[in-house]
Amino acid sequence: MPHVASVHRLDSNRSGLLVVDLQERLVPVIPSGDQVVRQTQRLLKAADMLQVPSAATVQYPKGLGNLVAPLDQWFSHDKNSPEEKLEFSSAVCRQSLDAWTQAGRDQIVVTGIETHVCILQTVLDLMAEGCFAYVVAEAVAARHGRDHETAMDRMRDAGATIITAESVMFEWLGTADHPQFKEISKLVKAGV
């Protein structure tokens, strides 16, 4: 019998990386905000190497600011600038999501803040659309631990996959024969 890859395993050809609301006035009030930014940056580098598209959203930037540095550099050009929103769910930001859907990218890897508000509502809405949502455990956070943990449990119970950044990178690779294996391995070893 031939090997069959699980539909639950990430595939770089079916994935997109969605960065939710890592903004100048939000990140500093999150106890693990710096870690979320570092993990997101690692994932953006891996996505870039493996040709996985990425997109970012910003919640009410007039009041909450732009994306924090260095993430703002990843999304500074017009074609890939962060989509602005007032709703908490980033699923209302259709530019990248519609393009990904048309390209057969139904696995959405999600990072950002806050877990119990914008992350939770985004993930629930993405799954309602038929997407597979992958929430990166060390790349999402909230101001309060109970809010974070409850939201993580709720997303898992609803069918989202909770995953680590390292798992994302190795699933995108799929094999040690991949041309980018050594570069991705460096990112993994860099850790946090």
CATH number of 60's domain: 3.40.50.850
Residue 1 lies in a domain: no
Looking at the domain assignment, is residue 116 inside a domain? yes
Which tens digits make up the pLDDT trace of 40-98? 999 999 999 999 999 999 999 999 999 999 999 999 766 689 999 999 999 999 999 99
In a domain, 22, yes or no: yes
> Three-state DSSP class for 142?
coil
Write out the H or E segment, with its range, that includes residue 56. strand 54-59
Q: Is residue 55 part of a domain?
A: yes
What CA–CA distance (Å, rounded) separates 7 from 13? Answer: 12
Q: Is 103 helix (H, G, I), strand (E, B) or coil?
A: coil
Q: Tell me the helix, strand and coil percentages in the chain, rounded to 5.
A: 45, 20, 35
Is there a domain that residue 30 lies in?
Answer: yes
Q: Which tops the pLDDT comparison, 2 or 138?
A: 138
> Domain count of the chain?
1
pLDDT at 37 over 70: yes
DSSP class of 7: T
Q: What is the pLDDT of residues 130-158, one digit of tens each?
A: 999 999 999 999 999 999 999 999 999 99
The pLDDT, as a whole number, for residue 3 is 82
Domain span including residue 32:
15-190
Q: What is the reported pLDDT for 190?
A: 83
